[in-house]
Amino acid sequence: MASQVQEANSTIKEIIENNKEWAADIQQKNPSYFANLSKGQSPKLLWIGCSDSRMAVDVLTKTNPGDVFIHRNIANRIPSEDLSALSVIEFAVKHLKVEHIIVAGHTGCGGVKAAISNGSVGILDHWLRPIKDLYIANQAELDALPDNERVDKLGELNVIQGVNTVSKLPVVHEAWKEGRELYIHGWMLQLHSGLLKDLDISVAGLKQVEDIYKLH
């Protein structure tokens, strides 16, 4: 127990030390950096991704603090009734006026793997249940694939569903009606190469949305 606590403390100490080094390094290179950053944010991107620790958005996109507004949850789900996701999207679109919304999944997603199995993962069973439904809706196509490809294909279908959900939100439609440029993209992070794969499903305007979802 004692060694566990010591180990945890050393991890925390290292993080705090790293932070001090990082801040000092930036301050030295650009003395006005933090003064400017503290004035506010105007990111052009909203990233909706998986909570997986390997999806280090700033690192893998070489972006800086202030560049990307972020929402993450397990398996990058976007339920159309989820107050947290909806609040993030509305704030990003309406107030920050982002130009791109990226829905990003990743290969080997543990959430998708759990959804495609019969193992129980506690309260997550409820959160992942719609991914099971997605599997059932595409079962013939998915069952024809080898096990490792099946998880990633279902992950892609989950991203496609997320892009579809975002493209049907009234707050997004309002932005398009105002003539603003707003793109919704679906990407998959390939963990084996570090590369982002564009699923080529980008939505750029109301023309790409079925009429029934357009509200007056």
Residues 37-66 interacting with Zn ion (rule: CB under 5 A)? 50, 52
**Residue 82 marked ligand-binding:** no
Closest CA to 181 of 117, 123, 101: 101
Of 46, 98, 102, 109, the one binding Zn ion by CB under 5 A: 109
Residue among 54 and 214 whose Cβ is closer to Zn ion = 54
As a whole number of angstroms, the distance between CA 194 and CA 55 comes to 9
Touching Zn ion, residues 68-107 (CB under 5 A):
none
Residue 111: Cβ-neighbour burial (10 angstroms; 0-12, 13-18, 19+): buried
Q: Is 216 a catalytic residue?
A: no
Count of residues touching Zn ion (by CB under 5 A):
4
CB of 128 to Zn ion, least distance (A): 11
Closer by beta carbon to Zn ion, 109 or else 203 = 109
In the complex with Zn ion, which residue's Cβ is closer, 102 or 109? Answer: 109
Give binding residues as ranges: 50, 52, 106, 109
Residues annotated as catalytic are 50, 52, 54, 106, 109
Give binding residues for Zn(2+) as ranges: 50, 52, 106, 109
